[in-house]
């Protein structure tokens, strides 16, 4: 699963998913969350990763990282 300290070339998983801008590996990560039953679908997985980034790494989000 993604680690919060990992850097991505986008600011939002949900936006990147909607724009079809995710790599196959990133899509596999979202699918892994669905397969593990942590979320219901890929959109929710993307929202979850965005939320996780904001909550667990809020200082960096304040500075747009």
Average pLDDT on 8-33 reads 93
Task: Provide the 3-class DSSP secondary structure of residue 5.
Answer: coil
Which helix H or strand E contains 28, and what residues bound it? helix 24-35
pLDDT in tens, 51-62: 988 777 655 545
Q: Is the pLDDT of residue 22 over 90?
A: yes
What does the DSSP assignment read for 39-61? Answer: SSSHHHHHHHHHHHHHHHTHHHH
Q: What predicted TM-score, i.e. pTM, was given to this entire model?
A: 0.73
User: Can you give the pLDDT at residue 5?
Assistant: 45
């Amino acid at each position: 699963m993604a680690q919060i300290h990992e850097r991505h070339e986008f600011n939002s998983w949900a936006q990147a998913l909607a724009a079809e801008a995710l790599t196959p590996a990133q899509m596999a990560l979202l699918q892994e969350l669905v397969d593990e039953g942590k979320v219901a679908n890929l959109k929710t997985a993307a929202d979850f990763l965005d939320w996780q980034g904001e909550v667990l790494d809020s200082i960096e989000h304040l500075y747009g990282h």
